[in-house]
Amino acid sequence: MAGLCHPSGMLKSPTSAVVQSRKLVTTVARTQHADNINSPSKTNVSTEEHTPVPSRIPIGRPPKSMLASRRAREQTPEGKPVTKPPSMGMFPLGYKEAVYQWWNSVTPTIAERNVISCIPYLREAIASSTNSATEVPSAEHPGETETSTKIDPYGPRVWKSTMVTLSGKNRGMNEFSVERVGEPVDDTLVMLHGYGAGLGFYYKNFENLSRSKGWKLYALDWLGMGNSTRPPFRICAKDSEEKITEAENWFIDALEEWRKIRKIEKFTLLGHSLGGYLGVSYALKYPGHLNKLILASPVGIPEDPYAVNADMPEPMDSSFQDEFTVDQQSTTESHSHNGNTRGQQPEANTPKKRPYPSWLVWLWDANVSPFSIIRLAGPLGPRVASGWTSRRFNHLTPDEKQKLHDYAYSIFRQRGSGEYALPYLLAPGAHARRPVINRIHRVGRQVIKPATETEPAVKETGYPIVFMYGENDWMDVAGGLAAEEKLKQTKIQALLHGTEEEKRKENGGAKVIIVSKAGHHLYLDNPDEFNDYVRKELEETRQQTLREKASS
């Protein structure tokens, strides 16, 4: 592969930044040129080999017989080619429609509410005429409710959307909650999204998961993502390990502060992708507050030699403001690569190769956000966003597809913030610089209260950890299976060497679940099956809570 602009792939000076930005402009121009080419063969390559498609559709080049029949259909009886409209290529949305959407785009808050409106049965909590606006909505004072057009067969249940203010300047977490009216809350589920996403992507899960009695559901946007506030993201550390720790803490410290504000002692954490990775980091830094950890297609489980040893951005690059781009086709190449090698273990001592374009690696190492092109595109931003949304949501109804597109665009176009943490946590290819497999055995085994002269140390005695993957997931399920085995061995050692009290309280466990007809976004690809699995986990946790209450 061609070398990088700099041996380390880093931005070292303003002059180099100018030169590199020109190269990026050239890349964008080439992408736009390829987008306008009306060649059937090239279109097949770009849309069928590299573009993310629903998991039920096989990825790869179609058979020759399929191509031959397609060419036959594209010809008239006289053998002349059928006149077709220009190909949209990787960006299906037309230029005029993109400008129209940009001009008439709604605010991020309205876009989120439009997605939430697709949820059946739930009613929104609204302010009472006798209460001040500052009291409602809140977790403690739901106030009056606006009746849904449908009677709730599992309720009544109310939802609220709140910005929870954190300490410091411009720090707040966007929160969505569902509460069962008139029932005591014994357990709490907290749902956390993946990189660059938002809580609205869980809209097909909220109603189903809130059917469980005794539970209150929260979904949060990570600080600096979704509709949470977007303070500048900066890394001050110089050491590589310290950079990773600082990047992780930027997110999980905010989560812990939110927990304290909501006065939640223990909860079940469900994290998707990067949300799962950060969930593990939270469990290790803030022990004693989880009763179950559900990792939905978590990123960063297996170890990768390149990811652990590769360079990462210098501290000054974390707030680099010049906005560049990465095209959707090249972004999905890593997905296809990982998916094709699913379950395969690399040979020992085999050096890890970079299966990615050199310019993609440069963009990653230079801490260039993949959402930058959308902000840079201005009125054409909706067209660029359609390159992902048209394929990610093409299994939904037209109305839901449009609302999800508008919502995704409203998130992607916002000021860059938490997204700049990516190259500190992951190397190109979504391999963790601090792999979860090397620390998963310590989850649920941390010291809660140090020993004193009179009292022994109080330690966690394990809790269930669930790994969930889609049947066609580009995340490697082998990482989850390896983690499961490691956790089971840890439990055996705890039962062999723990105190009698620790053995009595032992609650560790691990399992791997595969959701059929689903890919990386399993919660959206096959929500019914995903919800069924999660509700079973919630019921098991509920029974454990009731047993603990009865024995106390």
Instruction: Give the active site residues.
Output: 273, 473, 520
DSSP states of 77-125: TTSPBPP-PPP-TT--S-HHHHHHHHHTPPPHHHHHHHHHTTS-S-EEE
Cα-only R_g, the chain: 24
Residues 273 and 284: their CA atoms lie apart, in Å, by: 18
Query: Tokens 């992951």 label which residue?
Result: 426
Buried b (16+ CB within 10 A) or exposed e, 78-115: eeeeeeeeebbbbbbbeeeebbebbeebeebeebbbbb
How is residue 126 written in tokens?
């609204």
Conformation bin of residue 551: beta by default, left when phi > 0, alpha when psi is -120 to 50: alpha
Per the CB < 8 A criterion, the answer to whether 514 and 477 are in contact is: yes
Residues 339 and 304: their CA atoms lie apart, in Å, by: 16
Q: What is the largest CA-CA distance in the chain?
A: 95
Pairing of strands 290-296, 464-470: parallel
Angle at which helices 398-412 and 108-116 pack, to 10 degrees?
Answer: 150
DSSP 8-state class, residue 420: G
Per the CB < 8 A criterion, the answer to whether 305 and 400 are in contact is: no
Residue 155 CB partners (closer than 8 Å, separation 6+) = 121, 122, 123, 180, 181
Query: Tokens 């040979």 label which residue?
Result: 347
